[in-house]
A = this chain, B = another copy of it.
Amino acid sequence: MMIWRVNMQKKTLNKEDVPDHWEKLGGRGLSAQILVDEVQAVCEPLGPRNKLIFAPGLLVGHMLSSCDRISIGGKSPLTGGIKEANAGGSTGLTMACLGIKALILEGFPLDNDWQILYLDKDGARFENAGDIAGLGVYDSAKKLIQRYGDKIGIALIGPGGERELFSAGIQNLDKDKEPSRIAARGGLGAVMGSKKIKAIIFDAAGTNKPLLKNPEAFRQAQKIYTQALMNQPQTKVYADYGTAAMPRMSNGFGGMPTRNFSSGQFEDVEKISGEYMRNLLIERGGESNPTHACMAGCTIRCSNIFGDANGKKIVAPLEYETIALVGSNLGISNLDTIARLNWEINDLGLDSIEIGAALGVAAEAGLMRFGDGDAAQKLVEEIRKNTPLGRIIGSGAGITGKVLGVKRVPIVKNQAMSGYEPRAIKGTGVTYATTPQGADHTCGLTIRAKVDHLDPNVQVAISRASQINMAGYDSLGACIFAGFGFGASPQSVKDLINARYGWDVNEDYLQVLGKRTLSLEREFNRRAGFTAKDDRLPEWMTTEPVPPHNAVFDVKDEDLDSLFNWE
Contacts and interface: CB of A to CB of B under 8 A. Distances in A.
Interface of A: 41-44, 46-47, 49, 163-166, 387-389, 391-392, 395, 399, 402-405, 407, 527-534, 536, 538-540
A539 B407 contact: no
Contacts of A388: 387-389, 392, 403-404
A287 B317 CA distance: 69
Nearest to A405: B164
18 contacts: A42-B533, A42-B536, A42-B539, A44-B538, A47-B539, A47-B540, A49-B539, A163-B405, A166-B402, A388-B388, A388-B389, A388-B392, A391-B405, A395-B402, A395-B403, A403-B403, A529-B531, A529-B532
A540 B48 CA distance: 10
A392 B536 CA distance: 26
A163 to B, nearest CB: 6
A399 B400 CA distance: 10
Nearest first, the 7 A-B pairs at minimum CB distance are A529-B533, A388-B389, A529-B531, A44-B539, A42-B533, A388-B388, A391-B403
Nearest to A382: B388
Contacts of A407: 44, 46-47
Nearest to A190: B405
Nearest to A529: B533
A402 to B, nearest CB: 6
Contacts of A530: 529
Centre residue among A46, A387, A392, A407 by max chain B CB count within 10 A: A392
B43 A539 contact: yes
A46 to B, nearest CB: 6
Given A42-B533, A531-B531, A539-B49, A399 B391 contact: no
A322 to B, nearest CB: 24
A471 B512 CA distance: 51
A277 to B, nearest CB: 34
A531 B527 CA distance: 9
Contact of A534 (B164, B529, B540): B529
Contacts of A533: 41-42, 527-529
Nearest to A166: B402
A194 to B, nearest CB: 9
A536 B387 CA distance: 32
Contacts of A389: 388-389
B405 A399 contact: no
Contacts of A392: 388, 391-392, 403
Contacts of A47: 407, 539-540
Centre residue among A43, A402, A528, A534 by max chain B CB count within 10 A: A402
A368 B46 CA distance: 24
A403 B395 CA distance: 6
Nearest to A404: B391
A44 B399 contact: no
Nearest to A396: B402
Nearest to A388: B389
A540 B395 contact: no
Given A42-B536, A529-B529, 12 more contacts: A42-B533, A47-B539, A164-B405, A387-B388, A388-B388, A388-B389, A391-B403, A527-B533, A529-B532, A529-B533, A529-B534, A531-B531
A391 B402 CA distance: 9
A138 B166 CA distance: 39
Nearest to A391: B403
A68 to B, nearest CB: 34
Centre residue among A44, A163, A529 by max chain B CB count within 10 A: A529
A529 B535 CA distance: 11
A388 B399 CA distance: 12
Nearest to A531: B529
Contacts of A163: 405
A268 to B, nearest CB: 30
A530 B533 CA distance: 9
Contacts of A164: 405
Given A389-B388, A529-B534, A540 B44 contact: yes
A103 to B, nearest CB: 24
A392 to B, nearest CB: 6
A547 to B, nearest CB: 21
Contacts of A404: 388, 391
Contacts of A528: 533
A536 B40 CA distance: 14
A387 B389 CA distance: 9
A533 B404 CA distance: 28
Contacts of A46: 407
A528 B539 CA distance: 13
Nearest to A46: B407
A417 to B, nearest CB: 17
A523 to B, nearest CB: 14
A161 to B, nearest CB: 11
Nearest to A536: B42
